[in-house]
Amino acid sequence: KKHFNIFIVVTQFFVFLYFKCLWRGLKFVVRKFTGRCELQRICYNNKHGARRTLKIGKLHTYMNSSTELLQSALSVHPDKVEKTIDDIMALKHINPDTNPQLGISLQASLLQIVGYRQLVAEVEKLRREPYDCENAEHEQMLMKLWKELRPDTPLSSRISKQWCEIGFQGSDPKTDFRGMGLLGLHNLLYFAEHDKSTALQILHDSLQPKHNHLSKKPINT
């Protein structure tokens, strides 16, 4: 165990040495040889899309002088992306007049990164929001879900065993929206509205004796 711990320490030291010394030296040589910094090489050597955006998103972990600026760029408000790009290009001593495509490419990738992070934050906020039966909008969504999945069967009352027919555990669906919160209801309703034929087919199959999943595995959103 002692020798293993020593091995780990030595490995960590060489990894540190590589990133702090060798990697910087290699980047310096490549920039002098190509005349482009790593940011330019990523934007020019990769077509627009996920590959380029992912590389730019990870770039701040390898850079030094612009680390703080790039970290803030990944979470900046979309309205400030252009100003942030100007700051990055000034920091890296890149002339925007002779490198117009760089600004365009960088803007597209940063907007994708910022937009994705905002989307994740909004989804997480929705997941944390509990279902509230006193909220008219929540109740309206729930009633709409019933109508989408049971268009020909009126609901006898708000509290009813009929909810079990579409997979809820009891007579009051609000108790099923726990781990996923209101996001669970949004997902169910979106599925029922935008792919109704598939949703109805799944519901139909689940109610058959040989596929009676709803009686065995009720919805737990």
One-letter amino acid of 36: R
pLDDT per position as a tens digit, 10-26: 787 777 766 666 656 66
Which pLDDT belongs to residue 22?
A: 62
Which pLDDT belongs to residue 206?
A: 82
Which pLDDT belongs to residue 198?
A: 95
Which pLDDT belongs to residue 1?
A: 56
Region 27-31: mean pLDDT is 63
Say if residue 149's pLDDT is above 70. yes
60 vs 121 pLDDT, higher one: 121
> To the nearest whole number, what is the mean pLDDT of the chain?
81
Query: In whole angstroms, what is the distance from residue 2 CA to residue 13 CA?
Result: 17
Contact yes or no for 148/142 (Cβ under 8 A): no
**Model pTM?**
0.65
221 vs 209 pLDDT, higher one: 209
Which pLDDT belongs to residue 141?
A: 97
Token output for 87 = 């700051």
Contact yes or no for 60/70 (Cβ under 8 A): yes
Q: Which residues neighbour 113 within 8 Å (Cβ) at sequence distance 6 or greater?
A: 53, 56, 57, 74
The region, left, alpha or beta by phi > 0 then psi within -120 to 50, assigned to residue 2 is alpha
Say if residue 36's pLDDT is above 90. no
Which pLDDT belongs to residue 35?
A: 66
pLDDT per position as a tens digit, 157-169: 999 999 999 989 8
Sequence spans of domains, the chain = 36-128, 136-216
Contact yes or no for 162/117 (Cβ under 8 A): no
Least confident of 101-105, 118-122, 129-133, 192-196: 101-105
pLDDT per position as a tens digit, 167-194: 898 999 999 998 899 999 999 999 999 9
